[in-house]
Structure 1
Amino acid sequence: MDEKYRNQTCGLCGDYNGVQIYDELFEYGELVDIADFGEHWKVNDPTEKCMEVSTQNTAHCPDQKDLCTQLLSDPAFHSCKGLLDSPSFVEACVKDLCHCNISNTCLCPTLSEYSRQCAHAGGTPERWETAQQCG
């Protein structure tokens, strides 16, 4: 972002003030839960009210956590290790699988975002799509 916008932004994009302690993704030194983050930033307009963010329990999918951990530990993501908050991506993956009927396409958004965030963090993710996965 251009320097002329320093201290001029707010909301999901942050305030661009360079002070990490005010990072909108952290509260009291802890990473904010995805659902809480969404709830914090939603804004109703005069004619519509935002729906509550679903925090549906994924306890009925305990076997999916191992699969998701395995997918995000794939050799294609080797350079991402330690760069990202992998548990939050595992949680997103589990939720994707729990709310989907076609597992080979449901994971594409989460895996794609993991790859994108890895690259932004300095990693070099390799090609992870296959004929069986996002294909």
Structure 2
Amino acid sequence: MTDIKARLNRLKKMPERLLEIKREIEYLESNPIASQQFENQPKGKSNRNTAEDRTINTIDRLDELRNEYGACLDESWELREAFELLTDPLDNMVMRLFYINGHSWDEVAKSLRVSKATLQRSRTRAIEELAELLGG
């Protein structure tokens, strides 16, 4: 049960995280990769190619970010599809409005015209059903 709650909390924060990842990818892709300079500058004592190291680190970071972005999207779609499998339509709407659309409890209660107690029961019921559906 705690696994599904953790996944739902991640889903609620997912749009912000995806935007952060996208911005970091854009930043890394827009900055030119440093090249080694062959000028008459004093040579350091190290034989390391720092420009190459920075390039490799940038490429590795881009790969990590793209993988994380894909994993976030996969998890988001899996949970959205699981919401569709909920037996009670109210449970589906409560989960969508709260976790996907990011509405507050007051906004969800107002838009569905139900009490907060009904929302809490619906959410609890939905989480239990999701735990069974997703095995967590």
Q: Same fold (TM over 0.5)?
A: no
Q: TM-score, normalised by structure 2?
A: 0.24
Q: Which structure's residues are more often helix, by fraction?
A: 2
Larger C-alpha radius of gyration, 1 or 2?
Answer: 2
Question: Of the two structures, which has the highest relative contact order with CA contacts closer than 8 Å and spacing of 6 or more?
Answer: 2
- TM-score, normalisation: structure 1: 0.24
